[in-house]
Amino acid sequence: MIDEREFDQLYALMEASFPNNERRTYAGQKALLEDPHYRLLTRTDDKNRIIAFLASWEFSTFRFVEHIAVDSVMRGSGTGGKLMSSYMEETTKPVILEVELPETELAQRRIGFYERLGFHLNPFDYVQPPLQEGQTDLPLHIMSYPRPITEEEFTHFKEMLYTVVYKV
């Protein structure tokens, strides 16, 4: 279980890495620690500071990576790829994640990062429900590993995400 100091470090890294509409409030994020489906993997430096984390949801038929972030001073060091690869290697279930539409150079680079790890961009229309009150739906794409998903799988995954992760 993650302690208060570690959670504060993790949330600070989340704030630095994701725009407001792609993360929950501090209290909303902390509440997830009580959910049996929610899991955090962290990497620390030699001073025991969190330099990277992966936040996921574990389901019987698939795994969902909600966030992965690496401290800005460590980006480009391979830390994120290693963290994601070790997560992918510990399962035979499909792994899915959400990515921004490829409308900016940064979004295109993120998609490329996941494609180099073996993920596939899927063609289905998808929106992430608001993570905080007063926000609007966020159009995203679903990427999947180790193969593209079928429309039937997409429908199942989306239903689980909307019900368990986003509670809509």
Domains of the chain as residue ranges with CATH:
4-165 (3.40.630.30)
What is the pLDDT, as a whole number, of residue 141? 97
Residues 6+ apart with CB under 8 A from 124: 142, 151, 154
Which pair of structure tokens corresponds to residue 160? 């689980």
Pick the closest to residue 131 from 61, 26, 2 (CA basis). Answer: 26
What is the pLDDT, as a whole number, of residue 1? 74
What is the pLDDT, as a whole number, of residue 92? 96
What's the CA gap between 23 and 26, in Å, rounded? 9
**Low pLDDT (below 70) residues in the chain:** none
Rounded to the nearest 10 degrees, what angle do helices 79-89 and 105-116 cross at?
50
What's the CA gap between 143 and 68, in Å, rounded? 14
**Strand positions, DSSP E, the chain:** 38-44, 50-58, 63-70, 95-100, 120-121, 126-128, 138-145
Give this prediction's pTM: 0.95
